Amino acid sequence: MQLTERQAAILEIVKRNGPITGEQIAEKLSLTRATLRPDMAILTMAGLIEARPRVGYFYSGRSLSRLAAEKLHQMTVGEVKSVPTVVPEQCSVYDAVVTMFIEDVGTLFVVKENGLLEGVVSRKDFLKITIGGHDIHKLPVGVIMTRMPNVVTATVDETVWSAARKLITHEVDALPVVRPVEGVKGALEVIGRFSKTTATRILVEMGEES
For the segment 117-145, what is each residue's pLDDT rounded down to a tens digit? 999 999 999 988 888 778 899 999 999 99
The pLDDT assigned to 62 comes to: 65
202: Cβ–Cβ under 8 A, 6 or more apart, which residues?
Answer: 72, 75, 80, 160
Three-state DSSP class for 117?
strand
Cis amide leading into 176 (omega within 30): no
Q: Which residue has the higher pLDDT, 166 or 43?
A: 166
Q: Is a pLDDT exceeding 90 seen at residue 3?
A: no
Instruction: Return d(Cα 16, Cα 11) in angstroms, integer.
Output: 9
Q: Which residue has the higher pLDDT, 183 or 31?
A: 31
Average pLDDT of the residues in 166-171: 90
Q: Is a pLDDT exceeding 60 seen at residue 203?
A: yes
